[in-house]
Amino acid sequence: MQPLRTFSADEPTLDDMCIRVPWFSKADWIALCRESPDPLLRDKPYAAWRKEAKATLASIHKTGIKTYKVKVDAQSFLTWCHVRGLPVTHTSLAGYIATWT
């Protein structure tokens, strides 16, 4: 059996944690879906994405973790992917918003 892990005072706590969540306007979502080969992005209508995103936010909030909505401009994201030679996928999107401070 593994011993319980102890945390030092300088390690992050739930109060310190914040998850960045990509947020889209309808026009940006449609533009993103048009360019993406990723079925997790391409095959989801905006209303379905928004409903799922709101439910995910509520679920995260219940755990005590804060969230921060990152407004994603589709053209900026598409350019970011192109410059780096990355596909337009949910994984690339996570990398894109992780670069924001």
Domain residue ranges in the chain: 18-98
Q: Which residue has the tokens 């944690």?
A: 17
- pLDDT tens for the chain, 101 residues: list them: 444 554 555 655 555 678 888 999 999 999 999 999 988 788 889 999 999 999 999 999 898 888 888 899 999 999 999 999 999 998 999 999 988 76
Please state the three-class secondary structure of 64-93 as a single string: CCEEEEEECCHHHHHHHHHHHCCCCCHHHH
- pTM for the complete prediction? 0.76
Q: How many CA atoms lie within 13 A of 5 on its CB side?
A: 3
